[in-house]
Structure formats: C-alpha cells, structure tokens
Homo-oligomer: A and B are copies of this chain.
Amino acid sequence: MLNLALFGAGRIGQIHAKNISLHPNCCLAYVIDMNDVVAQQTAEKYGAQAVSVDQALADPRVDAVLICSITETHADLIELAAKAGKAIFCEKPVDLSIERVDACLAVVKKANVPLMMAFNRRFDPNFAHLKSVLDSGEMGAVEMLTISSRDPEAPPASYIKSSGGMFRDMSIHDFDVARWLLGEEPVSVYATASAMTSLHVREAGDVDTAIITLTCKSGKMAVITNSRRASYGYDQRVEVHASYGMLTVNNIPESTLSIATSNGMASQKPMAFFLERYAEAYRNELDAFVTGLQSGVENYPIGEDGRKALLIANAALKSLETGNVQTLALD
C-alpha cells in the first residue's frame, strides 16, 4: 500500500483524490492546497490530513507525490519532492521554459526518483487499444498519422494569457500522442495557424485554429489539426495509416440513442467535457504510476517525454512566427 500526497486539490486534483480512494494499492495520506478550506474538505472526504508541502515531504511514510497545482509551481515542487526522495506524478507541463525544464530534470536525475508526466491520452482505453495493435506488428510499419484534437470551447482570456499559447497548452498533448504512436522522433515541424473562432484568443495574441505537420527521418509523417472551439463537442480522434491498413479511434457519443425522422438521422454528440471523456484514462494513469512504482517498471511517460513535447511545441511556435519549417533534434 503506497502512501500518496496530493499537491493541489483543484479540478484535476479532485479526480486523482477520488481515484486514489478507489485504488486497492494506494491511499491518500496528505492533501496540500493554497486554499485551506479546500485542503481540509478534501482531506476529510478521503480520510487524509491537510498539511503543508514541507510536512508532507518530511514524512518518510509518504512514497510519492501527485503534483496537480498550477503550472508555475510544477518545477519547484518536482525539485522539492525529488530531493526528498519521493516518486513524482506530475500534470503537464514541467514548466513552460525549456531552460527551467532542463534544470528541473537534472535535479530529478540526480535524485534518481521516478517522474511520471501525466499525459492522460496514452491511458485512454481506445488509444491504448490502437497502440497495442500497432505494437503487435500485425499492421506493419506506421506511415502516416492524423490527429484531430478540438476543444468544445476556448478557455477564458485569463487562462489563455498564462497558458503559454495553444501549442504549449493544448497541442502538447497531441505532440506526445504523435511521438508515442510514430515510434520515431520528428526531425521537422511546420505549423500554420490563425485566430478565427474566438475573439478573446485573438486579442490575447494567441491562435485558436492550427494545422501542424511533423516529419521523421524515415519518411513517416504526422499531421495534427487543432481548434479551440468545436461546436459539436470534444473532438479527439486518431487515424493511423500503416503497411496493411488504417486504424481509427473515433469519438464516444454521449449516448447510443439515434433518431430517424423526416429531417434525417440524428445521433448524439461526442462527450464534451474532458474530465468525463477521459475518466477512465485518469484511473488508468494512476494505476500505471502505482503499478510502476511497485514493479519498478516505468511503463509511462517520463520527464524526458514532457521535455520533448515542449521542444516540439516551441518549434511549432517558431514555425508559425517565421512562416518556415523548423528542424528538430530530439534524439
């Protein structure tokens, strides 16, 4: 039974707290949140204690920490936890600055503690199913990957401004999926993008619509289409073309009801809320972390994966700014 400390009890922190309570091999020991009331309520709900960061890290019974606080705090908390010898589960990103990421990962390396980056999409049962078929080799080699990733609507202006831009905030999930499914690092990236759907995004100097192309040395390629606004729900699809055919993961409708009338056939929209859409992925990623700690086998994305996804995001941003293709050296 692993003892976990939760740093940040906001929306995603609550999801993890609940999943910890349902997991047979771990329990929630401490909750840490800037908001004392939230920390206290969450701790009570799950039989944990509300404490400070220092208290949690000082307790030798704590095996691991989950970092679910705001982005600005991630790198500092990772370093503190690493120095305290705790295993770390961290929501993306490590940091928006690649220099800060590098420094932080050096600390983790020195401390020799596990660091899992919570790229949740890898743990969605449907994407994982696709990956397992690819890994089986039965479809041959990957040739092309197309990722469709659209949010139902843009986050508020305040969020946009501190998000690091769409590529580092939203597309970064797709960069991770691309790396995961391509099985080879991209060597160049080209991005075209515009602000067409959300006025406050445009005013914030960010983009809301993009096409990003990644090319690998072997000739494999990937294209990511992004939008901050999809009226029909949360659009999360993947299509892989391989030697022997095409693998597709489609959206999950809100219900299986369909209605046929004189106006046509109507079926349900995709689930619109990411916490609902990826509910099972959140359970699975926690399990991957816990199981990984117990078995010593890191079968999950690590700090380096977070760093490489950020490097792609940065290059995509530079491609957009310069209008030219950018080379990447991720190997």
Q: Counting CB contacts under 8 A, is A35 at the interface?
A: no
Q: Are B246 and A256 in contact (CB under 8 A)?
A: no
Q: Are A130 and B257 in contact (CB under 8 A)?
A: yes
Residues from chain B with a CB closer than 8 A to the CB of A125 are: 255
Q: Are A256 and B245 in contact (CB under 8 A)?
A: no
Q: Are B249 and A256 in contact (CB under 8 A)?
A: yes
Q: Are A260 and B269 in contact (CB under 8 A)?
A: yes
Q: Are B219 and A245 in contact (CB under 8 A)?
A: no
Q: Are A144 and B227 in contact (CB under 8 A)?
A: yes
Contact among B22, B219, B231, B252 for A262, CB-based, below 8 A: B231
A251 to chain B, nearest CB (A): 7
Q: Are B325 and A231 in contact (CB under 8 A)?
A: no
In the complex this chain forms, how many copies of it are found? 4
Contact among B22, B126, B258 for A247, CB-based, below 8 A: B258
Q: Are A267 and B269 in contact (CB under 8 A)?
A: no
Complex: A219 Cα to B213 Cα, angstroms: 17
Complex: A188 Cα to B192 Cα, angstroms: 10
A 239-274 to B, binary, CB cutoff 8 A, 1 in contact else 0? 001011111111111011111111111111100000
Complex: A144 Cα to B266 Cα, angstroms: 19
9 additional A-B residue pairs with CB within 8 Å, beyond A192-B213, A209-B219: A190-B192, A192-B221, A195-B219, A196-B218, A209-B241, A232-B264, A244-B262, A249-B255, A264-B267
